[in-house]
Amino acid sequence: MSAVPPTPQTSSAAARGGGRRSLAAALLLGALGSTVVLIASGQTWRSGTATVAGIGSKTLEADGQAITGVPAALAIVGLAALVAIFAVRRAGRILVSTLLALSGAGAIAASLLGAGDHAALDEQAAKLSGDAAATVSGLTQTGWPYVTAFGGLLILVAGLLALRFGRTWPGMGGRYEREGGPRNRAAARRPADPERPEELWKALDRGEDPTAAPTREG
């Protein structure tokens, strides 16, 4: 027996299902990655000991924001790009998706480069001792720079998903039309589209899996 070729309706349904799953994944990864970067970049990345006359040895600490503010700034850019993806179409969506991916890549690079940077600690030692040439010793490093880099990786993956599948995602254009217009009245009579970004966010807030297939009652 020969296999039954897929019908246009079947292919369209499969495309919508793939678009819905990729959209939900990009939203989750982008939001989660940005949150991880913002939290992890505020934690202690490096610590060391400075010797100060009259005080002796003093432990100094530097968080990610003191070492480099780039990851946190790029996380905010990534969040903005994640929202803006649904406000643009075609070439604009590609550009915004590229910005999202680059934000993740930049956060990764800045986190890894900042992991070994002790300039912020040396600056603290110089201020504390009054000696511009003062440095710290006994340097230790935490795992937070790598947690920050992992958050950047999640943002990068969200951007790559947007570049690959973004053309199949719905837009927000209809939300900016004049209220009471013919298209808005027609949309009000239609049931909510579960594939729209706002409906996916509502499903996530309710603790539902927006990628799961709907069940039939009866």
Give me the CATH number covering residue 67. 1.20.140
Does residue 53 surpass a pLDDT of 80?
no
Residue 159, domain extent? 23-169
pTM, to two decimals? 0.70
Q: Would you state the structure tokens that stand for residue 125, as one six-digit string? A: 């030692």
| Mean of pLDDT values over 76-84 | 94
Nearest CA-CA partner of 24 in 201, 215, 206: 201
Does residue 76 fall inside a structural domain? yes
Does residue 11 fall inside a structural domain? no
**pLDDT band, very low/low/confident/very high, at 180 (cuts 50, 70, 90):** very low
Nearest CA-CA partner of 155 in 86, 81, 93: 81
How many domains is the chain partitioned into structurally? 1
Does residue 63 fall inside a structural domain? yes
More confident: 86 or 73: 73
**Per-position b or e across 18-33, b if 16+ CB within 10 A of its CB:** ebbebbbbbbbbbbeb
Does residue 159 surpass a pLDDT of 90?
yes
pLDDT tens digit sequence for 5-35: 555 444 454 445 556 788 899 999 999 999 9
